[in-house]
Structure 1
């Protein structure tokens, strides 16, 4: 892109709003692709017409998923509204990529046990929290020591999807393991402090409100990375949380080894959490709160999963 300052300004606006680093990477990448698609024409010289052309290209020629096209749209709209200060108003003529109506893959209780029994160590504990507390993998790995409330058997999820906080349950099965994990973090923090690396990275708002919090054990990640690394934004050398790809790979291997023929992933454990709670008679509003869904209609999909199970509906011929 000819105007490097444009991307710099975009990064600045993204960071000012405390968006994640992954969002920053994704948004800037989409802007670069958008500009390259239009032969390096500066966004100032383009308008709704060029934006619609690009979005239609993604849907019709690239055949991208609806979520991918929506991410591109969000990135471009962000560029025009917050960086160029020229919001795009009319976006009626672009073709939206179709969202296939698929029911989530759900494992039975026995299948979940099979997968968990084939895991060990940190991957097993993380998987137990995905299923036992209904966490997304990103939410689980971003947990900090102070997010565990052993007295009330609760886990606090900070800045989940939609930047919302919520409380979910702490499975009794994991309670001792979580306490042991806190002790591991304590030992790692002690070694890092002795080496001059006592700080961890906090969200900008928290770091301003609590200047010394980054040095305190309670703010450190519950699942720290084996190695220290430099944060690409602040330059702080610290221990980030472990990579989600590590857990995803281990779960995928366990599913394959178990012989289960379903396309199960880490997120399948969260789907199974919701479905099994509903099967056990918990009301849908409770499940909605535990999952952190904004709209109960999102949670309703799990009722369809239950309805479509042949084991739940009894055929009249069998009566």
Structure 2
């Protein structure tokens, strides 16, 4: 089944999980065991949210967790992939959770599926994010470094970085913005080419909107289907190459590291802008479900990952659990 077919059959928003007494008896045992092991409260709460998804699936099958067969576990992970649109990383978290759950409750029926999965390397691929987030202060330092450079394209490059920060867009999404996607009266852009295949609308500040208006007047090609960020070397209206954006950003970051403005041990990349924007919005009190929509995430858990503040994450998990 391809992505388009999947979207026709299943809603992108996962079905809500209702708490039941049957779930509670397992959750209680699991929580007591984890607390006895001195596991952090935030980790336990996170695990319980996922555990309820699994227990609700067991109820769908009208089976107890200790009655499930290897094939039933296969069904569960297909359910996570197809109906809940879980990423590889999230599925790995469920796999690790079930290993702990079945070990703590001393049930043996998960063991066969675990061995088979390890042999077939089902849960060994991780969507690792090898970068650090940045705050507004660091972002402005990078922006200033680009503006003060000797590059002929520094205005375009700095504007692109500014758009990336304010919108939280992925690099490819910003580079693919065309004239027809712009509503410059409102400072809005329609993002079409997205990772999740779903269009969304993003906004920029009034100041950035004015700069965009002035900048795009200088483009050689300004038809509806032309990109707003054009390659100024080829003069053919083609979009800026992604590698160029990375190189410009990296050069600015390296200069700031040399000057001691950014710690040398930190890995700051273009995607750090997106990560930093998510954290900034959450810090300012924007609801996490709104941040999820702004960033174009499929899963709320992905948005939670973008928040590195332990205090905020714990508070959010407490609030989410109250709603379950």
* Unmatched runs of 5 consecutive residues or more in structure 2: 6-87, 90-115, 148-154, 316-324
1:166 maps to which residue? Answer: 200
After TM superposition, give the deviation of residue 126 of structure 1 in Å.
Answer: 0.8
1:217 maps to which residue? Answer: 223
**Is the 8 Å Cα contact of residues 143 and 222 (structure 1) preserved in structure 2?**
yes
Runs of 4+ aligned residues of structure 1 deviating over 3 Å after TM superposition are 100-104
After TM superposition, give the deviation of residue 302 of structure 1 in Å.
Answer: 2.5
Compute the RMSD of aligned alpha carbons: 2.9
Q: 2:169 aligns with which of 101, 125, 135?
A: 135
After TM superposition, give the deviation of residue 147 of structure 1 in Å.
Answer: 1.4
After superposition, the C-alpha distances for 1:53-85 in whole angstroms (9 at most, x for unaligned) are xxxxxxxxxxxxx89xxxxxxxxxxxxxxxxxx
CA 1:114–1:217: 2 relative to 1, 3 Å: same
Q: 1:99 aligns with which of 126, 146, 156?
A: 126
Counterparts in 2 of 1:1-319, with a 5 A limit?
94-96=120-122, 97-99=124-126, 105-120=132-147, 121-185=155-219, 188-189=220-221, 217-228=223-234, 239-259=237-257, 260-261=262-263, 262-303=266-307, 305-307=308-310
After TM superposition, give the deviation of residue 228 of structure 1 in Å.
Answer: 5.0
After TM superposition, give the deviation of residue 183 of structure 1 in Å.
Answer: 0.4
Query: Counterparts of 2:287 and 2:243 in 1: how far apart (Å)?
Result: 33
Query: Counterparts of 2:274 and 2:134 in 1: how far apart (Å)?
Result: 10
Q: Taking structure 1 as the reference length, what is the TM-score of the superposition? A: 0.53
After superposition, the C-alpha distances for 1:118-157 in whole angstroms (9 at most, x for unaligned) are 0121111111111111011101111101212122221110
After superposition, the C-alpha distances for 1:219-252 in whole angstroms (9 at most, x for unaligned) are 11111223559xxxxxxxx532011111111111
1:87 maps to which residue? Answer: none
CA 1:100–1:163: 2 relative to 1, 3 Å: closer
Query: Counterparts of 1:224 and 1:239 in 2: how far apart (Å)?
Result: 5
Query: Counterparts of 1:221 and 1:132 in 2: how far apart (Å)?
Result: 19
How many residues were matched structurally?
Answer: 187
CA 1:159–1:286: 2 relative to 1, 3 Å: same
**Is the 8 Å Cα contact of residues 196 and 297 (structure 2) preserved in structure 1?**
no
**Is the 8 Å Cα contact of residues 216 and 228 (structure 2) preserved in structure 1?**
yes
After TM superposition, give the deviation of residue 172 of structure 1 in Å.
Answer: 2.4
Give the secondary structure class of the aligned counterpart of 1:161.
coil
**Is the 8 Å Cα contact of residues 131 and 268 (structure 2) preserved in structure 1?**
no
